């Protein structure tokens, strides 16, 4: 009953607020949706303790959904540690976003609709993370896509918001098409869509080949690749990332919900949930590693030069998702989930902190028009500082002193090195990309702090003079998120990736303790020296990483990258203020290239958008105008209308005309009868 309440209470809240706005009013809709999300969040915290620490895993049967021959799919809630972690992330952040929206959306005339959309978004994500089969996860998958479309385009009178919503929807359709094909392939190969059935039969199907486009492809590789295409779209990975920055056109609370707790984490969750499939697909796992590492680097380079405060944080999200994916590609599923967990806190903190700045600056988002705000908004400055320290991974290696990002991101970077040391494909590549991306992350994160809160005010004097701290309803969520950004890493490291990880995850995802990873590392070294058989790829992928099993220089490399990024950012924006603008003006290629996001939008316009428009115009002119309109309204319909117009001339209203026509008709009828009679004789 508790799990049904966690999942379906947000749906009830969305229905009441969205369908009965006149009955509830704006205040009633806010109270109902926020109160229900608070209940769902509290129940999720208890569920997390009950499942992860007491081991009370279960499957809650709700109803039969499909039963057509061998095709069966039921509504069931799969409750294990992986689900419990996601329940906490989704409901906790969503609840705080609801509370924050009381202040941020105070002047909006459509608050009831907004809060209904937020709750609907939450329900769809909860449906996704509790799914027990591929059909149910696809239902939640598409529900999240619909909700994001509604929320990104919430201010529908803005053309940019509408364009961003359509862009997000269409880009995700590309990924979802691959995901749908992957689900179909799962059913063809395994004859079932149930996770338990599919995962149990993966090893037995590992040698099966599948005929696809005239090629013989390993069945498991095909399934894994198609599933990952869906994850690429939903989590905005390289090539399918273009929708994520434009999603900033929606209200800031939407940005926090999409980027921290719901939509973008769905792809990571899918890969981790389907770990047994990806374990048996080394080619696809390598592809995931490359895409994740490329995304981490690519998004970080763009974040270096963006001036919209929300866009910088958005590209940071894209980059951090890259870390999660290359961790999953290397088999470090628990490390990927650890970073997802901590990232939810500090990234939501940064987005909501940015929203506080925007409200305080009367909806100004350009950092070039800010500066010196720490005196006007000291609490917001403090919260943004905590979020920045967590994002950049501030902490002392080899100790338990550090913010949440320090523990989760460093374990991924160190684990990537260990994977490369064990002979895992692309492990070293991921390690070096992770270190370089960490340097750029530190630079652009401190750039936001320095440009927004320090230096001299650069914007409108009137706006700066009236800048003020946000209301209490916005400060309370920031306080709670700051606590998560400070302590989530150190409190849960042992459970997610440390000595207690095997017991914590209980088989819901791959997890190994530091001690077992160390033994495995020694085994790899011994087998290399003694020419003994090396561990299989599957065995190598079990390594989770840890600070006790890597060289000292590897252990300190993320810290050095973080420090260098901070120093260079301080030198460029505080010590030599104005120099960055001069460099940007003098740059003929690099700055425009990065500022215009590697020209991906322009490239896609040339390759896809413009060609699709031409194709649509051709169909419109040939199909609609010449064929449909030509034979329809302008063809048979036009002839019929013309005949009708001419026929109306026979109706003059004069009796003698009608008598004359009757006489002609009678003569014609008699003539026909007579002629027929003569012919019959």
3-state secondary structure 306-355: CCEHHHHHHHHHHHHHHHHHHHHHCCCHHHHHHHHHHHHHHHHHHHHHHH
Say how many C-beta atoms besides its own lie within 10 A of residue 82's C-beta. 24
554 pLDDT higher than 50: yes
User: What's the pLDDT at 624?
Assistant: 80
Task: Give helix 309-329 / helix 404-421 axis angle, nearest 10°.
Answer: 40
Dist CA 367 CA 369 (whole Å): 5
Q: Hey, what are 591's tokens?
A: 């700055």
Q: Percent of the chain, pLDDT > 70?
A: 93
Compute the residue count for the chain: 681
Q: What SS3 state is found at 365? A: coil
Question: pLDDT-based confidence at 133, cuts 50/70/90?
Answer: very high
Candidate from 169-178, 209-218, 374-383, 483-492 with smallest mean pLDDT = 209-218
User: What's the pLDDT at 261?
Assistant: 60
Cβ-Cβ contacts under 8 Å for 306 (sequence gap 6 or more): 312, 315, 444, 595
Q: Tell which residue, 550, 576, 343, 587, has the closest CA to residue 441.
A: 343
Candidate from 20-29, 589-598, 631-640 with smallest mean pLDDT = 631-640
Strands 209-212 and 71-79: unpaired
Q: Are 342 and 404 in contact (CB under 8 A)?
A: yes
Q: Hey, what are 124's tokens?
A: 């769809």
User: What's the pLDDT at 510?
Assistant: 57
- For residue 605, the number of C-alpha atoms closer than 13 Å in the C-beta half-sphere is 4
User: What's the pLDDT at 546?
Assistant: 40
Q: Hey, what are 26's tokens?
A: 């704006």
User: What's the pLDDT at 549?
Assistant: 63
Q: What SS3 state is found at 273? A: helix
Q: Percent of the chain, pLDDT > 90?
A: 68
Q: Which of 62-66, 419-423, 487-491 has the highest mean pLDDT?
A: 487-491
User: What's the pLDDT at 681?
Assistant: 57
| 592-606 pLDDT per residue, tens | 999 999 999 999 999
520 pLDDT higher than 60: no
Q: Label residues 551-586 b or e (16+ Cβ within 10 Å = b).
A: eeebbbbbbebbeebbeebbebbeeebeebeeeeee
Q: What SS3 state is found at 374? A: coil
User: What's the pLDDT at 377?
Assistant: 94
Higher-scoring residue by pLDDT: 210, 521: 210
Candidate from 286-300, 440-454, 504-518 with smallest mean pLDDT = 504-518
> Mean pLDDT over all residues of the chain?
88
Average pLDDT, stretch 109-134? 94
Average pLDDT, stretch 459-484? 91
3-state secondary structure 242-261: CHHHHHHHCCHHHHHHHHHH
Residue with tokens 């950049």: 392
| 421-440 pLDDT per residue, tens | 888 889 999 999 999 999 99
Q: Hey, what are 165's tokens?
A: 């919503």
Secondary-structure breakdown of the chain: helix, strand, coil percentages, each rounded to the nearest 5:
75, 5, 20
Q: How far is the first Cα of the chain from the last one, in angstroms, to the nearest whole number?
A: 93
User: What's the pLDDT at 538?
Assistant: 42
Average pLDDT, stretch 281-294? 96
Q: Hey, what are 474's tokens?
A: 């916005």
Q: Tell which residue, 386, 435, 384, 372, has the closest CA to residue 409.
A: 435
User: What's the pLDDT at 615?
Assistant: 87
Q: Which of 255-264, 300-309, 537-546 has the highest mean pLDDT?
A: 300-309
- What string of DSSP letters covers 465-502? HT--PPPHHHHHHHHHHHHHHHHHHHHHHHHHTSTTHH
Task: Give helix 159-190 / helix 134-152 axis angle, nearest 10°.
Answer: 180
336 pLDDT higher than 70: yes
Dist CA 341 CA 480 (whole Å): 15
Q: Hey, what are 291's tokens?
A: 């895409």
């Amino acid at each position: 009953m508790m799990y049904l309440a966690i999942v379906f209470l947000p749906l009830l809240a969305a229905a009441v607020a969205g369908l009965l706005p006149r009955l509830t009013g704006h205040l009633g809709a806010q109270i109902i949706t926020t109160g229900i999300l608070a209940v769902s969040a509290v129940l999720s915290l208890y569920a997390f303790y009950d499942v992860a620490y007491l081991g009370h895993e279960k499957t809650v049967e709700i109803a039969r959904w499909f039963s057509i021959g061998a095709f069966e799919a039921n509504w069931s809630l799969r409750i294990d540690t992986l689900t419990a972690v996601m329940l906490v992330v989704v409901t906790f952040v969503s609840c705080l976003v609801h509370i924050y929206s009381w202040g941020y959306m105070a002047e909006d005339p459509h608050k009831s609709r907004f809060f209904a959309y937020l709750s609907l978004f939450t329900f769809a994500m909860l449906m996704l993370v509790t799914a027990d089969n591929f059909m149910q996860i696809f239902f939640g998958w598409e529900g999240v896509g619909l909700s994001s479309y509604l929320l990104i385009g919430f201010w529908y009178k803005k053309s940019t918001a509408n364009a961003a919503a359509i862009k997000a929807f269409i880009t995700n359709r590309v990924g979802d098409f691959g995901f749908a094909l992957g689900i179909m392939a799962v059913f063809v190969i395994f004859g079932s869509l149930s996770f338990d059935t599919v995962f149990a039969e993966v090893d037995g199907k590992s040698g099966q080949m599948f005929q696809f486009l005239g090629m013989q492809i390993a069945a498991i590789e095909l399934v894994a690749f198609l599933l990952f295409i869906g994850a690429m779209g939903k989590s905005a990975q390289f090539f399918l990332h273009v929708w994520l920055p434009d999603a900033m056109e929606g209200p800031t609370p939407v940005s926090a919900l999409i980027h921290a707790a719901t939509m973008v984490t769905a792809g990571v969750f899918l890969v981790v949930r389907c770990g047994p499939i990806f374990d048996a697909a080394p080619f696809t796992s390598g592809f995931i590693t490359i895409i994740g590492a490329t995304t981490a680097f690519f998004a970080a380079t763009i974040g270096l030069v963006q001036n919209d405060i929300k866009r910088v944080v958005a590209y940071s999200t894209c980059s951090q998702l890259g870390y999660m994916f290359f961790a999953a590609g290397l088999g470090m599923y628990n490390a990927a989930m650890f970073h997802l967990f901590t990232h939810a806190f500090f990234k939501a903190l940064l987005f909501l902190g940015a929203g506080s700045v925007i409200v305080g600056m009367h909806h100004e988002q350009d950092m070039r028009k800010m500066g010196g705000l720490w005196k006007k908004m000291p609490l917001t400055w403090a919260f943004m500082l905590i979020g920045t320290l967590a994002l950049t991974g501030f902490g002392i290696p080899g100790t338990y002193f550090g913010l949440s990002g320090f523990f989760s991101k460093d374990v991924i970077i160190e684990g990537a090195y260990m994977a490369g040391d064990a002979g895992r494909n692309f492990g070293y590549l991921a390690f070096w990309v992770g270190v370089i991306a960490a340097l750029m992350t530190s630079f652009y994160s401190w750039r936001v702090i320095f440009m927004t809160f320090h230096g001299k005010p650069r914007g409108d004097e009137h706006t700066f003079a009236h800048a003020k701290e946000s209301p209490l309803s916005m400060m309370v969520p920031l306080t709670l998120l700051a606590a998560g950004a400070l302590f989530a890493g150190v409190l849960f490291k042992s459970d997610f990736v440390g000595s207690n990880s095997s017991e914590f995850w209980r088989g819901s995802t791959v997890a190994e303790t530091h001690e077992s990873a160390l033994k495995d590392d020694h085994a790899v070294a011994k087998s290399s020296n003694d020419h003994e058989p090396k561990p299989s790829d599957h065995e190598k992928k079990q390594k989770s990483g840890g600070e006790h099993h890597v060289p000292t220089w590897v252990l300190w490399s993320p810290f050095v990258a973080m420090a260098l990024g901070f120093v260079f950012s301080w030198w460029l924006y505080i010590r030599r203020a104005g120099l960055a603008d001069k460099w940007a003006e003098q740059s003929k290629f690099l700055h425009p290239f990065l500022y215009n996001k590697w020209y991906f939008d322009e490239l896609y316009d040339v390759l896809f958008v413009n060609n699709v428009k031409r194709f649509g115009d051709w169909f419109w002119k040939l199909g609609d105008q010449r064929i449909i309109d030509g034979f329809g309204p302008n063809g048979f319909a036009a002839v019929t209308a013309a005949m009708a117009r001419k026929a109306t001339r026979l109706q003059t209203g004069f009796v003698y005309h009608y008598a004359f026509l009757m006489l002609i008709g009678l003569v014609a009828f008699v003539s026909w009868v007579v002629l027929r009679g003569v012919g019959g004789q």
